[in-house]
Structure 1
Amino acid sequence: MKLETINKARYRKHLNYVIGACVVALTAGSLGIAQCLIALFPDSDGSHFHWNLTGVTLTSVTIGVVLLKVKHHAFMYEVAYVWDLKQALNKITRKMAKLKKAAEQGNADAMLAIQFSYTGSKQLWELDDNTITMEDLVMWQAQLDVLTTRYNIELDITHFQSHLLKQF
């Protein structure tokens, strides 16, 4: 994955539309399906939990399928980019302990993955106005910079590929 410049205002606007549409679809779909099932298959006990659960499940699956199908539409570009970025960062985060250990031993691929994580996290946190941990990120970046200087390694995050993580 390559990091790209994202228009924050456009991202937030489109994300809010997507979230709103999902909430409306989930509410209407769940209630509609549940009510149809209750009308078709009434329960003498008056408990319709399983029909309500079925409505929520079917609607959630439908929303997921629709989101996957429209992911590549121009309107979804920023939202899909952030979605993909979060997935890439999660893959790195799950291996961060091993990456840091390898980086301390001079592994350039580990340092590259960590640099990508820090740069991507900074972008993500700025897009989501989550600046609480930025001070920690600056500290972590300084620690990585010490390692790159010690091992004389130059990091170019444009060379990061997720397959690099397989070795850790």
Structure 2
Amino acid sequence: MELREIDKVVYKQKQRKVGIVFSLIFAVIGLGLSAVLRHYYGNAEGENMMVNLTGVLIGLAISIFIFTQVAKKPYFDELRYGWNLKKQALKIQNHRHRWEERLKEGDATAAIVLAFYHKATLQLQSLDGNEFGYSDSKERENKFLVECETLSLDADASKYSIDMLLDMK
């Protein structure tokens, strides 16, 4: 995965639009199906929790199916990039302590993976508008860069490859 610049304003607008549209789709389908199921299979005395729950769960499944089909469109490029970046950062985060140990041993791959992690975290926090987390992460990145300089390691995030994570498993 390669880091790239995306417009924060466009990202936030699309994120809000997609959230609202798919929440509405889910609400309409879920409530509509619940009403239909209640009409045909409901209890006239009023105990219809399982019927309503069934309608909502079917509505959720349909909404997820619609989303997975639509999310492949070019409109979602920035959002897909953000989702994939979060996945990569979390994969590294899950083993960060091990990567940091390898960095202390002078491992060049660890320097590249951690450089990517720091850049990805900063970009995600910037996109999400997390100013407090951003400044904290920037401090951690600066400490990391000093450590890499001390160890004479190249901390170039552009050399990162997903295949590098296979080395940790």
Where structure 2 has 5 or more consecutive residues not aligned to the other structure, the ranges are: none
Q: Quick check: 157-166 or 81-90, which moved more?
A: 157-166
Distance 1:3 1:49, change over 3 A: same
Give 3-state SS (helix, strand or coil) of 2:129's partner: coil
Name the residue aligned to 2:42: 42
Name the residue aligned to 1:58: 58
Where structure 1 has 5 or more consecutive residues not aligned to the other structure, the ranges are: none
Name the residue aligned to 1:22: 22
How many angstroms apart in 1 are the aligned matches of 2:111 and 2:166? 14
Name the residue aligned to 1:117: 117
Name the residue aligned to 2:150: 150
Relative to the length of structure 1, the TM-score reads 0.91
Give 3-state SS (helix, strand or coil) of 1:161's partner: coil
How many angstroms apart in 1 are the aligned matches of 2:77 and 2:29? 26
AA in 1 matched with 2:112: L
Shift of 1:45: 5.3
* Pairing 1:1-168 to 2, within 5 Å after superposition: 1-43=1-43, 46-168=46-168
Relative to the length of structure 2, the TM-score reads 0.91
Q: Superposition RMSD on alpha carbons, in Å? A: 1.6
AA in 2 matched with 1:42: G
Give 3-state SS (helix, strand or coil) of 1:152's partner: coil
How many angstroms apart in 2 are the aligned matches of 1:112 and 1:143? 15
CA contact (8 A) 2:22 2:67 kept: no
Give 3-state SS (helix, strand or coil) of 1:123's partner: helix
Distance 1:62 1:159, change over 3 A: farther
Per-residue CA deviations over 1:31-66 (Å, capped at 9, x if unaligned) read: 111111111112255222222222222222222222
CA contact (8 A) 2:34 2:55 kept: yes
Q: Once the two structures are aligned, what percentage of the paired residues are identical?
A: 21
How many angstroms apart in 2 are the aligned matches of 1:121 and 1:58? 36
AA in 2 matched with 1:31: L
